[in-house]
Amino acid sequence: MIKIDFTGSKVLVTGGAGFVGSNLVEAIVRAGGKVTVLDDLFTGKRENLDAGISYEFIKGSVTDYSLVRSAMEGVDYVAHLAARNIIVSTKNPREDYETNIGGTLNVLMAARETKPKRIVYTSSASIYGNPRILPIVEDEAPLTFSPYSVSKLAGENYCYAFYETYYVPVTVVRYSNIFGPKQDPINPYCGVISKFIEAIDGGKSLQVHGDGLQTRDFTYVDDATSGTLMALLSPRADGMVFNMGTGIETSIMGIVNILSELMGHKVTCDHVDRRDIDNIRRRVLNIERIRTRLRWHPQIGLREGLRRTIEWYQADKKNL
């Protein structure tokens, strides 16, 4: 496994005040790095970043090329997480296009001039749509069923083009249903697990879209963070795309059952109509490529990850 050490390195994290981004920022600082966060705070929050760590914060959007270019001056590594997520993208495809595609192009164009050692672009398993074969390998033909998946795939393609044409050292990681601390249930754009935890804690019935038998590959945020940092540091990652999941398929009702047991509450579910984003029936990723090339594999199992997330939610609730 690659040693995660950023001592003496300057790192730009776009979207660094978001759920995954803030976890990433803190991990880089703990590993000795000097971090600049670029975030427009559309879904991110300054409160996500530990007040005890040192970092530079720039409020702004990746859609502003001059700002991106300035932020990347003298940077050694770039973790590009800034994006409009799937719910926002579905509601406003134009904003999705400008941020997810245009913002990624801005980062890559700036990299041609500033020449960082490596860029990691965080994509999504949503680009696979409903795959033909499970678990999904990186070479599976994409099926883009949402504006979000279209834009994330377009960002990937720009990364490949800049790697091949301009020799920009870039790596793509495809995240799969990340959950964990700092995924705020109050945020209307957050994932299902934090919403379920809040509802169970409040004695409310859970809203399950469809029959609840749809499956996903749920990945704990610490594992996604460590994999992203390893991709940033390893020359073996240049020009590569990696699935980042667990290789374990879990249904939504499976999540409900584990949360009910861990929280000690009897849970009732209201099965409501599917949303326009609920068009993927099954998803589980093959992670053999990242395991063999970077020696990364997830450390936190689903049950333990859920336990830690519940623990964080309850502690955060007391501090409000």
Instruction: Report the CATH number that the domain containing residue 277 is assigned in CATH.
Output: 3.90.25.10
Q: Give me the domain span that covers residue 170.
A: 10-179+219-246+284-300
Q: Please report whether residue 26 resides in a domain.
A: yes
Alpha carbons 119 and 84: distance in angstroms, whole number = 19
pLDDT, tens digit (0-9, with 9 covering 90-100), for 88-142: 888 999 999 999 999 999 999 999 999 999 999 999 999 999 999 999 999 999 9
Same domain, 103 and 224: yes
What is the pTM for the complete model shown?
A: 0.95
The dihedrals phi and psi of 228, each to the nearest 5 degrees, come to: -65, -40
Same domain, 53 and 81: yes
Alpha carbons 69 and 38: distance in angstroms, whole number = 11
Same domain, 55 and 163: yes
Q: Please report whether residue 196 resides in a domain.
A: yes
Same domain, 106 and 242: yes
pLDDT, tens digit (0-9, with 9 covering 90-100), for 212-262: 999 999 999 999 999 999 999 999 999 999 999 999 999 999 999 999 999
Alpha carbons 31 and 27: distance in angstroms, whole number = 6
pLDDT, tens digit (0-9, with 9 covering 90-100), for 62-94: 999 999 999 999 999 999 999 998 888 889 999
Q: Which of 148, 158, 175, 220 is catalytic?
A: 148
Q: Please report whether residue 4 resides in a domain.
A: no
Q: Residue 148 maps to which CATH number?
A: 3.40.50.720
Same domain, 15 and 156: yes
Instruction: Note if 148 is an active site residue.
Output: yes
Same domain, 170 and 31: yes
Q: Please report whether residue 138 resides in a domain.
A: yes
116, 76 Cβ separation under 8 angstroms: yes
The dihedrals phi and psi of 119, each to the nearest 5 degrees, come to: -120, 135
Alpha carbons 165 and 269: distance in angstroms, whole number = 52
